[in-house]
Amino acid sequence: MAAPDYAIPPLSPTAASVVHRCARIAGVEVEQLLRRFEPEKGDQPLAYARSVVEYCSYIALRVETKRHDYLSDSEFHSLTYDMMIAWEAPDDETDAALQKMSFSFVDGKDDDDCGSMFCLSPTQMAIQVDGRRTVSPEAFAKIIPACPAMAHAITVRNLFDALTNSTGGRLHFLIYHKYLKCLDKVLRFAKRISGGHKAPALQLSDGEVILDIYGAATTKPILQHIGTSTWPGRLTLTTHALYFEPVSVDFSYNEAVVYDLSRDLKQSIKRESTGPWGAQLFDKAVMYKSSSTREPVFFEFPQFKGHTRRDYWFAIIKEVLHAHKFIRKYRMINLHKAEALSVATLGILRYRTVKEGFHILPAHFKTTLAFNLAEKLPKGDKILEALYGQMKDYSSRFRVDEDSVQSSSDDLTLADPFPLSAYTLVNMGLLTLKEEDNPEEWDLTVRDVQTGGTSSVQMALERSVGYSGRVEAARATLDQVKVEDIDTNVAVLKELLFPLIEIGKRLLFLAEWEDPLKSYVFLFCFLFIVYRGWIWYIFPVFLLGSTIFMLWQRHTGNGQMIGAFEVTTPPRRRTVEQLLALQQAISQLEAQVQAGNIFLLKLRSLLLAAFPQSTNKVAATMLVASAIFAYLPLRSILVLIVLEAYTRHMPARKKSSEKLVRRLREWWLRIPAAPVQLLRPQDTRRWRSRLRSR
C-alpha cells in the first residue's frame, strides 16, 4: 500500500505509487511529470487516470530498457507488474471493486477438481499461496508492448493466452516472473551463439542474426533427405537463410549448404513424413523446395515421441519467409528492413521461451509469431499494412532528453525517431547497424504504444480477430463432416451431385432418342432459343434464379440450422477386399495413362508426317475447320456442334452415324504410334557434390 504522501487525486494508492516510482526513474519531480502530460478533452476520470499511468509508465520504461540486464532484474519485474495493476485499477472506485472481486474469486474456488496439492505443479502450488493481485489481458496488452523484447502489439493477446493457459485467463506474478527469466535466458543464449561461442563457422552477411541451431552435438544430428540419400548434420537458421553442415567421417562439419530465404525463389515449406530410402514412415520432417533446388529437401528432426521439435522449426522458418515477403512487398531497405527482421527475431525468441519455459507451442490463430499470425488471420494484409505505416511514421512518441534526465528540467518532449525492435537487438548485442543508421543514445523511445487510444495496428488486429471467430466456427463444421473410408466419401459425393447427375441422365436420355417426341420437343425449343438470341441469357438467368432461391431460404429459414444431409453408407469392406479394390483401381489408372500416351504418340506421328496419307487427310480437315471458324459466327458454329452431337442417334441419322464412327475408328487404328526410347538415369554424381551445387 502506498504511503499517504504519495496520494495523487484521483489516482488509486497503487497507481500513485507507480507514478512516483516512474518519476524517480526518469529523474524528474512528480509535479513536472504530470504537468507535461496533456489529457484529451472530455476525458472521464477513469480514462484520465489510465492515461496518466500509461504516460508515466512509458517514460519510465523508455529509461529502464536502456539497461542491458533489465530482463534479469527482479525489481523491473515487480515494477512492470505493478504498472499493469495500476492501469487496470487507476482510481479508488475501480481499485476497490477489483479487490473485492479478487477476494471473492479466491474464497469461492472449487476444490472438487484435482483439489489435492499432489495434482499441482510447483508453479501452480506457489500460485495458490501467492497473495498478489492478478492482471487482465487488457492491462497486459497495454503496458507490455512498450518493451519490444517482451511482447509485440500483434501477438500480445496470444502471448497472454499462452501464459495464462492454466490460470483461468488471469496473469499471476509468478508466471510473469518465470516468463521474463526464461526470456532473459533465451536472449543470453542467442547472444552467446551470435558472439562466437558454440557458433558454427558460417559466412554471415551484415545484419544477419543466428536464430537457432539444431544438431550442434554430433551424437544428436539432424537428418537431411534428398531423394533416396540421407546425411546427418547440423542445421542453423538465421534471419536470411538456412545453413546445413553435413557431418564427415571424423565427426567434423563440412562446408555448409545455403538455402536462401531472403530472395523470391518461390520457396515452399511443408510438414512431411520421411524415412530411409524415401519411405514416408515418420511424421517428423520439414520439406523445403524452391526454384534453386532440383528436388525437395527434407529435414528430419528425430524425436522419440511426438513431433513438437519439427513443428517448432516449421513455424520459425515460416516466420522468416513471411518476414522477407513483407519486406519485398513494401520494398523496405535500411532501417525499415532491419526493423521488420527484428520483429521476426524477437518473436521467434519469445516463441522459443514459451516452448521451453511453459511447454506450449501455440499454433494457427493462437501463434505468438507476428508475421505467421498476420498471414493466417482473415484480412491479415490490413494488419501488415498498418504495421508498415507505423514503421514509416516516425512521428510524436515518448522521449526523454539526456538533459532532462540529468538536470530535472521541465523539458520533456515527444518523438519517435527510431524503430525500437531493431534498437532492442542493438542494445542486447545481437545486431549491428551501419554508423549512419545508429541513433543517438538518448533519442530512442517507444513505438507501438499510444496513451488514451488505440493504434492502427491494434484496430486492424481487432477487426481481423472478429472475422477469425467465424473462420473457427466454419472449421469446426468441417471436422464434423469429414468421414473416413473411400467408399463412404464416394457415396457422399454422389448424393451431393445427385441433381447434376439426374440432369445429365435426362439429357443423355433425350440424346439417345428413346422417346422421339420428347427429343423433338427439346430440339425445337433449343433451336428457337438460339434463333431468338436468348442463349446468352441462360447463364445470367441461372445466377438470378439461384440468388432468388437463396434469399427465399434466408427469409423463410429465420437463421435456423439446416437439417443434416442424409447419406446411406455402403457396406464396409474387409481389408482384403479393400486391397483388391485398390489394386484394381491402380490397374485402371495405369490403363488410362497408357491410352493417353498412345493418343499423344499417334498425334506426334501425324504432326511429323510419319503416315503421309493420314497426314494429308488431317491437314485438309484442319484447313476446312479453320475456314469455318474464320467466316462463320460463333453462334452458328455452336448450333452445328450441338445439332451434330444431339442428332447422332436420331432414327434418320443413326445408321450413317454408326458407319462414320466405325470408319473413323478403323482409320485411327491404322495410324502408328511414334517410337519411344527409354533411357536409364545417369546418376553418377556423389551426394556431396549434389549438395554443393545447391
398 or 203: which leads in pLDDT: 203
Residue 675 neighbours by CB under 8 Å, 6+ apart: none
Lowest average pLDDT, out of 12-21, 103-112, 141-150, 343-352, goes to 103-112
100 or 227: which leads in pLDDT: 227
Residue found under cell 422421339? 516
Beta bridge pairs of residue 282 = 274
| pLDDT score of 383 | 92
Q: Is the pLDDT reported for residue 286 higher than 70?
A: yes
| pLDDT score of 664 | 86
Residue type at 183 in one-letter notation:
L
Lowest average pLDDT, out of 106-110, 201-205, 308-312, 545-549, goes to 106-110
Lowest average pLDDT, out of 209-218, 275-284, 516-525, 564-573, goes to 275-284
| pLDDT score of 126 | 54
Residue 344 neighbours by CB under 8 Å, 6+ apart: 239, 319, 320, 322, 323, 369, 370, 371
How confident is the model over 442-459, as a mean pLDDT? Answer: 59
Beta bridge pairs of residue 271 = 286
Beta bridge pairs of residue 11 = 91
How confident is the model over 595-612, as a mean pLDDT? Answer: 87
Q: Is the pLDDT reported for residue 119 higher than 50?
A: no
Torsion of CA 94, 97, 100, 104, to 10 degrees: -120
Three cell numbers written together for 291: 526454384
| pLDDT score of 394 | 52
Q: Is the pLDDT reported for residue 46 higher than 50?
A: yes
What does the DSSP assignment read for 602-670? HHHHHHTTSSHHHHHHHHHHHHHHHHHHHHS-HHHHHHHHHHHHHTTTSTTTHHHHHHHHHHHHHHHHH
pLDDT bucket at 104, cuts 50 / 70 / 90: very low
| pLDDT score of 587 | 92
pLDDT bucket at 401, cuts 50 / 70 / 90: very low
| pLDDT score of 101 | 64
What is residue 69's DSSP assignment?
T
How confident is the model over 434-458, as a mean pLDDT? Answer: 57
Alpha carbon distance 691, 244 (integer Å): 10
CB 362 within 8 A of CB 158: yes
| pLDDT score of 445 | 41
Lowest average pLDDT, out of 74-88, 225-239, 618-632, 641-655, goes to 641-655
* pLDDT tens by residue, 121-139: 555 555 554 557 889 999 9
Long-range CB pairs of 550-557 (<8 Å, 24+ gap) are: none
pLDDT bucket at 181, cuts 50 / 70 / 90: very high
150 or 428: which leads in pLDDT: 150
- Count how many residues are written for the chain: 694
CB 457 within 8 A of CB 383: yes
Alpha carbon distance 502, 489 (integer Å): 19
- Stretch (H or E) spanning 233: strand 229-238
Beta bridge pairs of residue 258 = 243
| pLDDT score of 36 | 76
Instruction: Give φ, ψ of 414 to 5 degrees.
Output: -120, 130
Sign of CA dihedral 604, 607, 610, 611: positive
Pairing of strands 222-226, 297-300: antiparallel
Average pLDDT, the chain: 81
Q: Is the pLDDT reported for residue 226 higher than 80?
A: yes
* pLDDT tens by residue, 87-98: 998 888 887 777
Lowest average pLDDT, out of 400-409, 541-550, 627-636, goes to 400-409
How confident is the model over 512-528, as a mean pLDDT? Answer: 87
3-state secondary structure at position 245: strand
Q: Is the pLDDT reported for residue 402 higher than 50?
A: no
Torsion of CA 435, 440, 446, 452, to 10 degrees: -140
Which of 518-527, 586-595, 623-632, 674-683 reaches the highest mean pLDDT?
586-595
| pLDDT score of 5 | 56
| pLDDT score of 403 | 41
> 408: phi > 0 → left, psi -120 to 50 → alpha, else beta; which?
left
Alpha carbon distance 132, 138 (integer Å): 18
* pLDDT tens by residue, 365-382: 889 999 999 999 988 899
Q: Is the pLDDT reported for residue 608 higher than 90?
A: no
The ranges assigned to domains in the chain are 4-103+123-179, 194-387, 392-455, 482-555
Distance, first Cα to last Cα, the chain: 65
| pLDDT score of 407 | 37
Three cell numbers written together for 323: 518476414
| pLDDT score of 661 | 85
571 or 558: which leads in pLDDT: 571
| pLDDT score of 411 | 39
243 or 573: which leads in pLDDT: 243
Alpha carbon distance 591, 596 (integer Å): 9
Q: What is the pTM of this model?
A: 0.78
Nearest CA-CA partner of 148 in 61, 271, 266: 61
CATH of domain 194-387: 2.30.29.30
30 or 249: which leads in pLDDT: 30
Which of 113-117, 409-413, 430-434, 457-461 reaches the highest mean pLDDT?
457-461
Three cell numbers written together for 685: 554424381
Lowest average pLDDT, out of 407-416, 541-550, 675-684, goes to 407-416
| pLDDT score of 412 | 40
Residue found under cell 503496458? 143
359 or 126: which leads in pLDDT: 359
Residue found under cell 452445328? 640
Nearest CA-CA partner of 34 in 59, 3, 13, 12: 59
| pLDDT score of 435 | 61
Alpha-carbon distances of 560 from 474, 546, 563, rounded to whole Å = 16, 20, 9
Lowest average pLDDT, out of 32-46, 486-500, 596-610, 625-639, goes to 32-46
Residue 23 neighbours by CB under 8 Å, 6+ apart: 29, 30, 32, 33, 56
pLDDT bucket at 452, cuts 50 / 70 / 90: low
How confident is the model over 509-531, as a mean pLDDT? Answer: 87
How confident is the model over 433-454, as a mean pLDDT? Answer: 53
| pLDDT score of 150 | 94
Instruction: Please tell me whether the peptide bond between 570 and the residue prior to it is cis, using omega within 30 degrees of 0.
Output: no
Alpha carbon distance 555, 513 (integer Å): 42
Alpha carbon distance 83, 17 (integer Å): 10
277 or 120: which leads in pLDDT: 277
Three cell numbers written together for 313: 522449426
